[in-house]
Structure 1
């Protein structure tokens, strides 16, 4: 039996150190780069090879060799666009370390994009698309000889960027690198997945498909295993099932299937509903490498709620193991513009952990990118985050029509099965989609009857068939969240997208206040990245001004400029630090409002997913809540607040935003996963910290509390609420700045006098005090990139107030920087215990 703790036998990793050289067109063939290790001195310059890493990225190799600047910095990506206009030759030598094998096979797990493979100067064949494994039989290689393996990557296929035509798409290569609102144009190329030499005695397993069937009583299940055998069809196969508690069952079968019945199976649950036990299935034939996969036992469906059934809409409520749930979370895009960049797996796991810490239970892996990586899906399996995986097909500016050319359909047949197989064993993947924002010629959301989407659905059913499928999102009949539709034709608001831009204190809020959507699978608001991130990456000139007069700011996010909007609300702003904090404050406030309004409609709305969790490239302005350096922006903490098991919605019925004409009408509501009751206190403070209004009273939920009116002082005011349980324990808190509805309503905040803070470490907690005489506005707590996770950030402290925060370190300890809009930064060095 193979040893589970050691590298599998009959397996030789050919990753690691390679060499790389670029050529124009087929100069590599003329120079014999694929056949000869040495070139003679002559009229033609000898090729300068650079060290390369496999799996990896051509761009990453060129950065390490000093041949291009890192495209994250300044305008450097403009000088790196030539990389995708070259053909690239990878090569390495190796010796066979698998003696005694009758058959040798060379496997490429994925290349970006395609290529030709040569072994000892002889062409083996072609590689497929970005995601598709390819095998070559290389039996008979001399075990004692050194062999030259070369891969020639052609120029990547021409595809449209975001402002193009979906109908002209040729391949399933993710299009975000061709130029998108959240990334520059930088088309990735490279051997970005593994290369392996496999040996066997003439028969081996090629694929392993585990399907679980959970009975209605949840006390019985079957694990059906489908085995794909290459070689002798009568070869005995050993299949070994390891239970979450360590128990092992084993079967030996002849054929392509086996079954393990489970009594009282340990069920996999989404976070908040139960645990995440995982089973493991390992199978092998004698004399060949084993295959292994990890899986969970669970049943997932899309079911109706009362509103979707009444409207004749699709079902939108996720139900896992018979338990319907409210889905909340984020849209996710690739973790880096160069997916082959070193350290990607760690970045991806960290993003999942941050989403989990923000109380998300669903991540939508948007069709602008590719399949979520194994590292990301593994971490979602372990933490209970559900995944909605879309196929890599997305909208465009001129049309969103799914392509139907023979070239695309051939790529679909070749490459889509590998994408489906890459996701099907992960219990976290609960929903598969045909693509993002696909429509017909009239821009009406496409259905599963559209021929290309029908074929995608058929391929998914053939290679999985265990999960719900949705053709696209939004699913119509209306594409966008529009107030006039919500008010006049609410029955047409099913799954909708938008809005995404900050449009001031009225139009940024109103769509959510009147929304009647059954699912809100994409919406957002932009802000600037953290000041430290801006100063780190905008290196080709001054960072200020943050508008279209600054070429770097335009290059790093030309869709999301907002200085004019900020000044409509706060008056003129001429300071980078203040500008950054004000943009992040409004993003946080809009997303909190959107999440609260959606969650406050539990019988109507099934899901709310913020656009977006992360960004793959350091933008100056963006719609992400975590910046490129993996440090959260202020909006992340408001998403964490509103997605928590218990949250507060202050409920401003009819109000177009955080402004009012003289008085606020509030109708507080507790947003909770379970019914309950407690004590709610609401307080309104003026700018000096004085109490304008205070009241305390009982509240029960899920019903909304009774409405009441609060008169506003002349200037902006801080509205706060706290909820305590029956035993006096504080369950949640919230705060929001409000003001009179007038031009530049929050200008007094932008010009508020300076105050002072003090910070002190107390064990694993941070004590922050406002030691001055002025309210400290939007206090942030930031650590080194991706290293520290404070409990909260973006809160205000009145004069004399203090706040304790927990700080969890997930990277090397270092300084914490604490700063408000109107204070100087304070650094506290936090050494490891």
Structure 2
């Protein structure tokens, strides 16, 4: 897209980002010591304040880590040692000279403070700040241009808050609660100057922000862009707006700030990934004497519409429709990349998370109310890659009650905090769905409705902000909260939008709920797995074995997700960490693929399936994420990618075990109709074929029910989907076994086999040179970076070879040489050097 030329407006902005200094204060010790004055301290009875380097924007924790004051909070039990940070006030300071021209008005602008602060200039109080995503402007006197000025920001101690096991009804701020402890992260209550700090000059009026409010005709052939300018004192002044089309054409209008609009004929529509392109428009606004403001935006229509099932049940509509085209929403719940703001490489990691989601064929990502809003970097990446976003407002469930706070006590909080939050969503065509919060219920644990006074007030703010996206009162939206098996069997019509299950519960209980579900939307479900051995030794402890509650660090890094007992119920006793990690990750991948394909097989009834969760903001020993903290994919990532691909094979199993025969209902899951052939084989670990079927199929269509013999050992099902011309569209593997205690123990106890890996640049050929299968071959880079592998977690039978592409990218996007480790349960790690 061509960009408009740079503005010739005289300098009106000066950044104060970068190097600051930082010091702690117990209570108002800062006032006693005069830290707010910026004056030097004399040698005397009172020790002088020790200042340390700080970065703005950033956070106190990040600065303390860099200074070596606190240990790495990601490692071991160190986060407990850092909890004192939230029991202090913190003082930021710096000096500056004003480099802006004299005359006019001078302002100090803060892009966000976590959570509240008092600002002092040259020892005089300027004002108060509050809100990590709220922009504040403080008027300055006409400062002397050649003099150094002292700027001091004193952060309050963080407000009291409740972690996962508190009471939602007692929520008193819009501060995201996950930092007070959640099942996927530690207690790490953040403080800091998390937004940009700038000096701004204007000639008596200022433009603060601009947004494009787009309306579109029903046929999508005409549109209007209303220019929404946030300003200070520009009501009657001429504002000039310039609209740049995706093809570079420009239009300009001049008029009052509240009376500017553009008509669009045949607008270039933004489409979700796979349905079209993602063109963006550019809008800028200028006012004499003020810095120009600009934004990018996309043009699209998004609705929630009924399918036949939701209409028949009298449910809410759950099918996303973009530009008149229904979209089956498959994807993930997403979290911030780090609990600690200001960590090195965060924007690049944020972009990488969205790229991983897009590569796994996600069409919708849910950012739920427990964590901060999706960052601008993440939203821009979703806009660019065509991935839809479901953004919830910052309210979330609790262990004691999930009841939204009463409007009488929370209304003023919403009035102050929601407008700046909601304005951050303008212009992002990817933002397709909004919600009031995560898992909000009445006292009876039934999900709340839009009529709840607090929820209704939030919706009023959403519409007042000019956001037209569909709005969900909460998720799950009920009437049944979770995927309850009794309800599924007796009252399936009550399964609308549901959550769960999340825990691995063996080879029947982990699978059965998904096979009998009749949910219209499955917006949160998961299964845990251990992290990679390398991650465990790096972040948990050098030797984390036996990976259960006898190891305090293992408990600290995921106390709700221990699973060794469950792994051993399925695979028998596990004696070492390497095998445990592979078996646990294989189990997670199998369950998530099973859940995703069962949901997808019900397209027409089910409108969405979102895995909890894509990533994690803190390194866990066990967790439901499919990307680890350092963004290493677990094996489950590849199984999610398989299940969500344009073509996928659904096995139609109730569970991977049976007494004598197993019923398969194989079906082709495809984004477009077609016909072709499905080839199925059942093989022993030694490679002998014991059953085979070839089916001519049409998709969509009724699944064929087949009976599969269960022999005395685990066997491998292989399936391939071919089109009419014989081209491979999809393939899948599924291990099955007799229904008995430790049904897959034989796989965990297979004799060792030998693996050869030949490399040709990033192209690998992996060969099983032994006499037994190598189940769940795992490919891992031994260096930090972003793995871009064509597959991992597959099985090689004796004598088989498999071609795989493997690239490791740095955060800068460049491919780099690395050491690849290839291993399986019965294959010790084989290391090869890969050069792109």
1:818 aligns with 822
Match of 2:731 among 717, 730, 733: 733
Do the aligned partners of residues 632 and 6 (structure 1) sit closer, same or farther apart at CA in structure 2, a change above 3 Å counting?
A: farther
1:470 aligns with 472
Q: Deviations over 1:248-301 (max 9, x none)?
A: 111111341211111111100011111100001011101211111110000000
Structure-2 separation of matches of 1:444 and 1:522: 16
1:537 aligns with 539
Structure-2 separation of matches of 1:38 and 1:546: 52
Contact 1:130 1:172 in 2 (8 A): no
Alpha-carbon distance, 1:405 to partner: 6.6
Structure-2 separation of matches of 1:809 and 1:584: 21
Is 1:597 the counterpart of 2:598 in the alignment? Answer: yes
SS of the equivalent of 1:423 reads coil
Alpha-carbon distance, 1:5 to partner: 7.8
Do the aligned partners of residues 406 and 129 (structure 1) sit closer, same or farther apart at CA in structure 2, a change above 3 Å counting?
A: farther
Alpha-carbon distance, 1:2 to partner: 9.4
Structure-2 separation of matches of 1:394 and 1:813: 43
Contact 1:331 1:522 in 2 (8 A): yes
Structure-2 separation of matches of 1:677 and 1:3: 51
> What pairs up with 1:303-452 in 2 under 5 angstroms?
303-404=305-406, 408-452=410-454
> What pairs up with 1:725-804 in 2 under 5 angstroms?
725-783=723-781, 784-804=783-803
SS of the equivalent of 2:181 reads strand
2:91 aligns with 89
Contact 1:111 1:130 in 2 (8 A): yes
SS of the equivalent of 2:633 reads coil
Structure-2 separation of matches of 1:478 and 1:109: 41
Structure 1 window deviating more from structure 2 (273-282 vs 205-214): it is 205-214
Structure-1 separation of matches of 2:300 and 2:148: 49
Do the aligned partners of residues 756 and 340 (structure 1) sit closer, same or farther apart at CA in structure 2, a change above 3 Å counting?
A: same
Structure 1 window deviating more from structure 2 (104-113 vs 244-253): it is 244-253
SS of the equivalent of 2:282 reads strand
Alpha-carbon distance, 1:705 to partner: 3.3
Contact 1:371 1:391 in 2 (8 A): yes
Alpha-carbon distance, 1:6 to partner: 8.9
Structure-2 separation of matches of 1:501 and 1:232: 56
Contact 1:367 1:435 in 2 (8 A): yes
2:813 aligns with none
Q: Deviations over 1:98-130 (max 9, x none)?
A: 113411111111111111111111111110122
Q: Deviations over 1:608-647 (max 9, x none)?
A: 0000000011000000000011010000000000001110
Match of 2:68 among 46, 59, 66: 66
Do the aligned partners of residues 101 and 375 (structure 1) sit closer, same or farther apart at CA in structure 2, a change above 3 Å counting?
A: farther
> What pairs up with 1:563-712 in 2 under 5 angstroms?
563-652=564-653, 655=654, 657-712=655-710
Contact 1:630 1:785 in 2 (8 A): no
Alpha-carbon distance, 1:210 to partner: 0.9
| Unpaired runs of at least 5, structure 2 | 811-815
Do the aligned partners of residues 123 and 764 (structure 1) sit closer, same or farther apart at CA in structure 2, a change above 3 Å counting?
A: same
Structure-2 separation of matches of 1:77 and 1:728: 56
TM-score (norm. length: structure 1): 0.98
Contact 1:447 1:472 in 2 (8 A): yes
Structure-1 separation of matches of 2:743 and 2:445: 38
Do the aligned partners of residues 803 and 6 (structure 1) sit closer, same or farther apart at CA in structure 2, a change above 3 Å counting?
A: farther
> What pairs up with 1:148-163 in 2 under 5 angstroms?
148-163=150-165
Contact 2:74 2:539 in 1 (8 A): yes
Contact 1:303 1:317 in 2 (8 A): yes
Structure 1 window deviating more from structure 2 (514-523 vs 412-421): it is 412-421
Structure-1 separation of matches of 2:93 and 2:314: 58
Structure-2 separation of matches of 1:555 and 1:440: 31
Alpha-carbon distance, 1:424 to partner: 2.0
Structure-1 separation of matches of 2:118 and 2:408: 22
Structure-1 separation of matches of 2:273 and 2:38: 55
Structure-2 separation of matches of 1:6 and 1:55: 27
Alpha-carbon distance, 1:599 to partner: 0.3
Q: Deviations over 1:327-346 (max 9, x none)?
A: 00000112111133232111
Q: Deviations over 1:331-390 (max 9, x none)?
A: 011211113323211111110000000000100001110111010000000000000000
| Runs of 4+ that moved beyond 3 A | 5-8, 405-408
Structure-2 separation of matches of 1:518 and 1:610: 15
Q: Deviations over 1:453-495 (max 9, x none)?
A: 1111111110123111111000000001011101100111000
Structure-2 separation of matches of 1:427 and 1:110: 24
SS of the equivalent of 1:459 reads helix
Structure 1 window deviating more from structure 2 (215-224 vs 672-681): it is 215-224
Contact 2:589 2:637 in 1 (8 A): yes
Contact 1:115 1:152 in 2 (8 A): yes
2:561 aligns with 560
Match of 1:173 among 172, 175, 193: 175
Structure 1 window deviating more from structure 2 (690-699 vs 335-344): it is 335-344
Contact 1:2 1:8 in 2 (8 A): no
Match of 1:517 among 516, 519, 526: 519
Do the aligned partners of residues 443 and 830 (structure 1) sit closer, same or farther apart at CA in structure 2, a change above 3 Å counting?
A: same
Structure-2 separation of matches of 1:472 and 1:152: 36
Structure-2 separation of matches of 1:594 and 1:500: 11
| Count of residue correspondences | 828
Structure-1 separation of matches of 2:391 and 2:72: 30
Structure-2 separation of matches of 1:181 and 1:6: 51
Alpha-carbon distance, 1:181 to partner: 0.3
Structure 1 window deviating more from structure 2 (805-814 vs 339-348): it is 805-814
Do the aligned partners of residues 215 and 232 (structure 1) sit closer, same or farther apart at CA in structure 2, a change above 3 Å counting?
A: closer
> What pairs up with 1:193-272 in 2 under 5 angstroms?
193-272=195-274
Structure-1 separation of matches of 2:107 and 2:552: 51
Structure-2 separation of matches of 1:519 and 1:407: 33
SS of the equivalent of 1:825 reads strand
Contact 2:273 2:385 in 1 (8 A): yes
RMSD: 1.4
Alpha-carbon distance, 1:706 to partner: 2.0
Match of 2:713 among 704, 712, 715: 715
Structure-2 separation of matches of 1:817 and 1:282: 50
Contact 1:480 1:497 in 2 (8 A): yes
Contact 2:658 2:739 in 1 (8 A): yes
Do the aligned partners of residues 232 and 461 (structure 1) sit closer, same or farther apart at CA in structure 2, a change above 3 Å counting?
A: closer
Contact 2:558 2:621 in 1 (8 A): yes
Structure-1 separation of matches of 2:707 and 2:473: 46
